[in-house]
Amino acid sequence: MSLWIGIALVSVVFFTSMLSGVFGMAGGLVLLWFLLVIFPAGTAMAVHGVIQLTANGSRAWLSRRYIAWPIVAFMTLGVLSAAGLLLLFNYSPNAASVSILIGLMPILVWMPKRWFHLDANRASHALCCGIASGGLTIAAGVSGPLIDIFFVRSRMDRRQVVATKAMIQVVAHSIKIIFYLGAAMALSTGEWGIVLLAAPFAIFGTHTGNSILHRLTDANFRTWTRWIVTGIGVFYFLQGLFLLTR
Protein backbone atom coordinates (compact mmCIF):
# COMPACT_ATOMS: atom_id res chain seq x y z
CA MET A 1 0.00 0.00 0.00
CA SER A 2 1.50 3.34 -1.06
CA LEU A 3 1.63 6.43 1.14
CA TRP A 4 -1.02 8.20 -0.96
CA ILE A 5 -3.41 5.26 -0.76
CA GLY A 6 -2.89 5.24 3.01
CA ILE A 7 -3.71 8.96 3.23
CA ALA A 8 -6.77 8.40 1.04
CA LEU A 9 -7.88 5.53 3.30
CA VAL A 10 -7.66 7.69 6.42
CA SER A 11 -9.66 10.48 4.72
CA VAL A 12 -12.34 8.09 3.44
CA VAL A 13 -12.66 6.49 6.89
CA PHE A 14 -13.28 9.89 8.52
CA PHE A 15 -15.88 11.13 6.04
CA THR A 16 -17.75 7.82 5.74
CA SER A 17 -17.88 7.46 9.54
CA MET A 18 -19.30 10.98 9.75
CA LEU A 19 -21.95 10.00 7.18
CA SER A 20 -22.89 6.91 9.17
CA GLY A 21 -22.87 8.94 12.38
CA VAL A 22 -25.67 11.04 10.89
CA PHE A 23 -27.75 8.40 9.11
CA GLY A 24 -26.78 5.13 10.80
CA MET A 25 -25.68 3.69 7.44
CA ALA A 26 -24.47 4.78 3.96
CA GLY A 27 -20.93 5.47 5.16
CA GLY A 28 -20.13 1.77 5.28
CA LEU A 29 -21.34 1.40 1.69
CA VAL A 30 -18.94 4.07 0.43
CA LEU A 31 -16.04 2.74 2.49
CA LEU A 32 -16.53 -0.80 1.19
CA TRP A 33 -16.38 0.45 -2.41
CA PHE A 34 -13.01 2.10 -1.74
CA LEU A 35 -11.67 -1.06 -0.07
CA LEU A 36 -12.82 -3.26 -2.96
CA VAL A 37 -10.79 -1.04 -5.29
CA ILE A 38 -7.53 -1.56 -3.39
CA PHE A 39 -7.94 -5.07 -1.92
CA PRO A 40 -9.27 -8.51 -2.97
CA ALA A 41 -12.89 -9.04 -1.85
CA GLY A 42 -12.17 -11.23 1.18
CA THR A 43 -9.42 -8.93 2.46
CA ALA A 44 -11.61 -5.87 1.85
CA MET A 45 -14.34 -7.48 3.97
CA ALA A 46 -11.95 -8.06 6.86
CA VAL A 47 -10.54 -4.51 6.76
CA HIS A 48 -14.06 -3.11 6.40
CA GLY A 49 -15.08 -5.11 9.46
CA VAL A 50 -12.25 -3.68 11.59
CA ILE A 51 -13.01 -0.07 10.63
CA GLN A 52 -16.78 -0.47 10.88
CA LEU A 53 -16.40 -2.17 14.24
CA THR A 54 -14.54 0.91 15.47
CA ALA A 55 -17.05 3.34 13.94
CA ASN A 56 -20.14 1.48 15.13
CA GLY A 57 -18.60 0.80 18.52
CA SER A 58 -17.99 4.50 19.10
CA ARG A 59 -21.47 5.37 17.81
CA ALA A 60 -23.03 2.78 20.10
CA TRP A 61 -21.04 4.15 23.05
CA LEU A 62 -22.04 7.75 22.35
CA SER A 63 -25.71 6.72 22.14
CA ARG A 64 -25.60 3.87 24.68
CA ARG A 65 -28.54 5.19 26.73
CA TYR A 66 -30.78 4.80 23.67
CA ILE A 67 -29.86 1.16 22.87
CA ALA A 68 -32.72 -1.35 23.04
CA TRP A 69 -30.79 -4.27 24.57
CA PRO A 70 -33.50 -6.98 24.29
CA ILE A 71 -33.60 -6.38 20.52
CA VAL A 72 -29.80 -6.62 20.35
CA ALA A 73 -29.82 -9.95 22.22
CA PHE A 74 -32.26 -11.67 19.83
CA MET A 75 -30.55 -10.23 16.76
CA THR A 76 -27.21 -11.53 17.99
CA LEU A 77 -28.60 -15.07 18.02
CA GLY A 78 -29.70 -14.53 14.43
CA VAL A 79 -26.31 -13.23 13.31
CA LEU A 80 -24.57 -16.26 14.80
CA SER A 81 -27.00 -18.58 13.01
CA ALA A 82 -26.35 -16.85 9.67
CA ALA A 83 -22.58 -17.09 10.12
CA GLY A 84 -22.90 -20.80 10.79
CA LEU A 85 -24.89 -21.35 7.59
CA LEU A 86 -22.39 -19.42 5.45
CA LEU A 87 -19.54 -21.44 6.95
CA LEU A 88 -21.43 -24.63 6.17
CA PHE A 89 -21.70 -23.62 2.49
CA ASN A 90 -18.10 -22.38 2.40
CA TYR A 91 -19.12 -18.95 1.10
CA SER A 92 -16.44 -16.86 -0.66
CA PRO A 93 -17.18 -13.33 -1.98
CA ASN A 94 -16.13 -11.58 -5.18
CA ALA A 95 -16.41 -7.91 -6.17
CA ALA A 96 -19.15 -8.47 -8.77
CA SER A 97 -21.53 -10.42 -6.52
CA VAL A 98 -20.95 -8.03 -3.61
CA SER A 99 -21.71 -5.01 -5.85
CA ILE A 100 -24.92 -6.57 -7.20
CA LEU A 101 -26.15 -7.46 -3.71
CA ILE A 102 -25.50 -3.95 -2.42
CA GLY A 103 -26.98 -2.41 -5.56
CA LEU A 104 -30.29 -4.16 -4.95
CA MET A 105 -30.55 -3.03 -1.32
CA PRO A 106 -32.06 0.44 -2.00
CA ILE A 107 -35.23 -1.28 -3.23
CA LEU A 108 -35.96 -1.92 0.44
CA VAL A 109 -35.98 1.78 1.40
CA TRP A 110 -38.60 2.61 -1.26
CA MET A 111 -41.09 -0.13 -0.41
CA PRO A 112 -44.21 1.28 1.32
CA LYS A 113 -44.17 0.81 5.08
CA ARG A 114 -47.63 -0.78 4.93
CA TRP A 115 -46.10 -3.76 3.11
CA PHE A 116 -44.10 -4.68 6.17
CA HIS A 117 -45.61 -6.15 9.28
CA LEU A 118 -42.25 -6.33 10.98
CA ASP A 119 -41.37 -4.91 14.35
CA ALA A 120 -37.94 -5.38 15.89
CA ASN A 121 -39.53 -5.13 19.34
CA ARG A 122 -41.03 -8.60 18.79
CA ALA A 123 -38.56 -11.35 19.68
CA SER A 124 -39.25 -13.53 16.63
CA HIS A 125 -38.88 -10.54 14.28
CA ALA A 126 -35.63 -9.47 15.95
CA LEU A 127 -34.26 -13.01 15.51
CA CYS A 128 -35.21 -13.02 11.82
CA CYS A 129 -33.62 -9.61 11.41
CA GLY A 130 -30.41 -10.95 12.90
CA ILE A 131 -30.36 -13.92 10.53
CA ALA A 132 -31.08 -11.81 7.43
CA SER A 133 -28.89 -8.84 8.28
CA GLY A 134 -26.08 -10.98 9.67
CA GLY A 135 -26.02 -13.10 6.53
CA LEU A 136 -25.96 -10.00 4.34
CA THR A 137 -23.25 -8.31 6.43
CA ILE A 138 -20.97 -11.31 6.01
CA ALA A 139 -21.88 -11.97 2.36
CA ALA A 140 -21.96 -8.37 1.08
CA GLY A 141 -20.28 -6.39 3.85
CA VAL A 142 -23.23 -4.17 4.81
CA SER A 143 -26.91 -4.54 5.69
CA GLY A 144 -28.21 -1.16 6.90
CA PRO A 145 -31.25 -0.88 4.56
CA LEU A 146 -32.34 -4.43 5.43
CA ILE A 147 -32.16 -3.76 9.16
CA ASP A 148 -34.27 -0.65 8.64
CA ILE A 149 -37.37 -2.55 7.51
CA PHE A 150 -37.55 -4.19 10.93
CA PHE A 151 -37.70 -0.76 12.56
CA VAL A 152 -40.25 1.03 10.35
CA ARG A 153 -43.21 -0.05 12.49
CA SER A 154 -41.50 0.46 15.81
CA ARG A 155 -42.12 3.54 17.93
CA MET A 156 -38.42 4.20 18.34
CA ASP A 157 -37.15 7.68 17.48
CA ARG A 158 -34.12 8.39 15.27
CA ARG A 159 -31.67 8.26 18.22
CA GLN A 160 -32.92 4.86 19.38
CA VAL A 161 -32.83 3.51 15.82
CA VAL A 162 -29.25 4.69 15.20
CA ALA A 163 -28.04 3.47 18.61
CA THR A 164 -29.62 0.01 18.38
CA LYS A 165 -28.47 -0.48 14.79
CA ALA A 166 -24.96 0.55 15.78
CA MET A 167 -24.84 -2.08 18.53
CA ILE A 168 -26.14 -4.80 16.23
CA GLN A 169 -23.54 -3.91 13.66
CA VAL A 170 -20.83 -4.10 16.31
CA VAL A 171 -21.85 -7.74 16.74
CA ALA A 172 -22.18 -8.43 13.00
CA HIS A 173 -18.85 -6.85 12.03
CA SER A 174 -17.06 -8.67 14.86
CA ILE A 175 -18.30 -11.97 13.49
CA LYS A 176 -17.43 -10.85 9.93
CA ILE A 177 -13.82 -10.22 10.98
CA ILE A 178 -13.58 -13.75 12.37
CA PHE A 179 -15.23 -15.17 9.21
CA TYR A 180 -12.62 -13.51 6.95
CA LEU A 181 -9.67 -13.92 9.28
CA GLY A 182 -7.81 -16.07 6.75
CA ALA A 183 -8.07 -13.38 4.06
CA ALA A 184 -6.97 -10.74 6.55
CA MET A 185 -3.68 -12.57 7.03
CA ALA A 186 -2.77 -11.67 3.43
CA LEU A 187 -2.06 -8.09 4.52
CA SER A 188 1.45 -7.17 5.54
CA THR A 189 2.26 -5.77 8.97
CA GLY A 190 2.75 -2.33 7.42
CA GLU A 191 -0.65 -2.43 5.71
CA TRP A 192 -2.36 -3.42 8.94
CA GLY A 193 -0.50 -0.58 10.63
CA ILE A 194 -2.13 1.90 8.22
CA VAL A 195 -5.55 0.29 8.77
CA LEU A 196 -5.16 0.54 12.55
CA LEU A 197 -3.98 4.14 12.16
CA ALA A 198 -7.14 4.90 10.17
CA ALA A 199 -9.44 3.29 12.76
CA PRO A 200 -9.37 6.20 15.30
CA PHE A 201 -10.48 8.54 12.52
CA ALA A 202 -13.68 6.48 12.42
CA ILE A 203 -14.30 7.61 15.99
CA PHE A 204 -13.67 11.26 15.12
CA GLY A 205 -15.99 11.04 12.14
CA THR A 206 -18.67 9.32 14.18
CA HIS A 207 -18.51 11.98 16.89
CA THR A 208 -18.88 14.71 14.26
CA GLY A 209 -21.82 12.95 12.62
CA ASN A 210 -23.50 12.33 15.96
CA SER A 211 -23.60 16.07 16.67
CA ILE A 212 -25.22 16.66 13.26
CA LEU A 213 -27.80 13.92 13.91
CA HIS A 214 -29.27 15.79 16.86
CA ARG A 215 -29.97 18.79 14.62
CA LEU A 216 -32.10 16.78 12.18
CA THR A 217 -35.82 16.17 12.47
CA ASP A 218 -37.12 12.60 12.17
CA ALA A 219 -38.70 13.47 8.79
CA ASN A 220 -35.48 14.91 7.34
CA PHE A 221 -33.53 11.98 8.73
CA ARG A 222 -35.64 9.42 6.86
CA THR A 223 -35.83 11.43 3.61
CA TRP A 224 -32.10 12.06 3.33
CA THR A 225 -31.31 8.45 4.26
CA ARG A 226 -33.54 7.15 1.46
CA TRP A 227 -32.00 9.30 -1.28
CA ILE A 228 -28.39 8.84 -0.21
CA VAL A 229 -28.69 5.05 -0.02
CA THR A 230 -30.47 4.96 -3.39
CA GLY A 231 -27.73 6.94 -5.13
CA ILE A 232 -25.02 4.71 -3.71
CA GLY A 233 -27.00 1.58 -4.59
CA VAL A 234 -27.43 2.59 -8.23
CA PHE A 235 -23.68 3.13 -8.51
CA TYR A 236 -22.94 -0.29 -6.98
CA PHE A 237 -25.44 -2.07 -9.23
CA LEU A 238 -23.96 -0.54 -12.40
CA GLN A 239 -20.48 -1.44 -11.20
CA GLY A 240 -21.58 -5.02 -10.55
CA LEU A 241 -23.02 -5.33 -14.07
CA PHE A 242 -19.78 -3.95 -15.51
CA LEU A 243 -17.70 -6.45 -13.55
CA LEU A 244 -19.90 -9.34 -14.66
CA THR A 245 -19.66 -8.42 -18.35
CA ARG A 246 -16.00 -7.41 -18.38
pLDDT at residue 153, as a whole number: 66
Check if the beta carbon of residue 19 is closer than 8 Å to that of residue 6: no
Using CA atoms, how far apart are residues 174 and 48, in angstroms rounded to an integer? 11
H helices then E strands: how many in the chain? 12, 0
pLDDT tens by residue, the chain, 246 residues: 677 788 888 888 888 888 777 776 677 788 888 888 888 888 999 998 988 888 788 878 888 999 999 999 999 999 999 999 999 988 888 888 888 888 887 777 677 666 767 888 889 999 999 999 899 899 988 787 778 778 766 777 778 887 898 899 899 999 999 999 888 888 888 888 888 888 888 878 877 877 777 777 766 677 777 787 788 888 888 988 888 887
pLDDT at residue 170, as a whole number: 92
DSSP string computed for 221-239:
HHHHHHHHHHHHHHHHHHH
pLDDT at residue 177, as a whole number: 92
pLDDT at residue 158, as a whole number: 75
Using CA atoms, how far apart are residues 240 and 102, in angstroms rounded to an integer? 9
pLDDT at residue 176, as a whole number: 93
Amino acid (one-letter) located at 156: M
Domain ranges of the chain: 3-245
pLDDT at residue 209, as a whole number: 79
Q: Mapped to the 3 state alphabet, what secondary structure does 186-209 carry?
A: CCCHHHHHHHHHHHHHHHHHHHHH
pLDDT at residue 113, as a whole number: 64
pLDDT at residue 62, as a whole number: 82
pLDDT at residue 25, as a whole number: 62
pLDDT at residue 116, as a whole number: 67
pLDDT at residue 234, as a whole number: 87
